[in-house]
Amino acid sequence: MKYRGFAMILTVLVDNHTLTDRYFRGEPGLSFLIEEGDQRILFDTGFSGLFLENAALMEIDLLDLDIVVLSHGHIDHTGGLSHLIDRYILAAIEGIPFNTPLLLAHPHAFLPRRAGLLPQIGLRISPEELARHFTVKSSREPVWLTDRLVFLGGIPRPEGSSASGEKKRFLITPEGEVEDRVMDDTGLACVTDDGIVVITGCAHAGIDYMVARAQEVSGEDRVADVIGGFHLLNPPSVVRERVLGFMEQAKPRILHPCHCTDLASKTALSRVAPVGEVGVGLRREYG
């Protein structure tokens, strides 16, 4: 299927790193602006309101977003939501027009979670409060956002697997506290002329399992790019080798690992595919 004449544009608003000679700021978090067709999609909001500050420096207006997608419920990907709500409230006070976006995530993204002595590492705004400012939708299944951009929903993975030596985290459900396997972890995939572009937040599910899911959902085996967090932070050797083996078979045209991917893992990935630099201010266009 061809979509010539269209392009997806991805702009990095928040990452751990910034591009050289671009005087934006970074933080341990992630936020991308995605423009596809006539849709403007915010993918994650980072830890703070920094994504709004960087967007303003880039002369990007986030008042006319159509969709906000959360890759998962952790605070370094959802913390900025309260700042986006504040931006809407100020716009309303000043009589500035703004959209009421769809807010889309896996159902678990809205649940509280803790890790060790940290009482809350998840989304700090209740679904009821979010519904005052967004049209809230949760889905475990894929959701097509445009003709070629899809929310992947839950990522199938082997029982007991994780991307890389996860810390002990707990999900607080209505039935009680359970070990958190970050089952809400998800991403986006866009079908382009060169194959799929897979967009990830942290890839707690395993970056290889996420790309495989994107291939299955999109019906496209060719991989043009994988951009986002790969969750390879000092991973066990068996995990790193598994991911490298998958990428060697998938033959992506390029990889853009960032956020939660360490230098050793980027170096290892560069042995099986080209690896591009990522930082706040990066703009990627896909045909």
Residue span of the structural domain in which 257 resides: 8-286
Residue 111 is assigned to a structural domain of this protein: yes
CA-CA distances (angstroms) from residue 284 to 51, 227, 259, 277?
17, 10, 17, 11
Residue 3 is assigned to a structural domain of this protein: no
Whether 79 contacts 124, CB under 8 Å: yes
Residue 105 is assigned to a structural domain of this protein: yes
Is the pLDDT at 204 greater than 80? The verdict is: yes
* pTM for this predicted structure: 0.95
Residue with tokens 């500050």: 53
Residue 162 is assigned to a structural domain of this protein: yes
Residue 54 is assigned to a structural domain of this protein: yes
> Residue 69 is part of a domain; what is its CATH number?
3.60.15.10
Amino acid at 129: E
Whether 51 contacts 80, CB under 8 Å: yes
Number of domains forming the structure of the chain: 1
Taken in order 100, 83, 283, 259, is the CA torsion positive or negative?
A: negative
Residue 98 is assigned to a structural domain of this protein: yes
**pLDDT digit string, tens, across residues 12-57:** 999 999 999 999 999 999 999 999 999 999 999 999 999 999 999 9
Residue 2 is assigned to a structural domain of this protein: no
Taken in order 154, 156, 160, 162, is the CA torsion positive or negative?
A: negative
Give the DSSP per-residue string, 129-159.
HHTTTSEEEE-SS-EESSSSEEE--S----T
Residue 1 is assigned to a structural domain of this protein: no
**Predicted pLDDT of residue 88:** 98
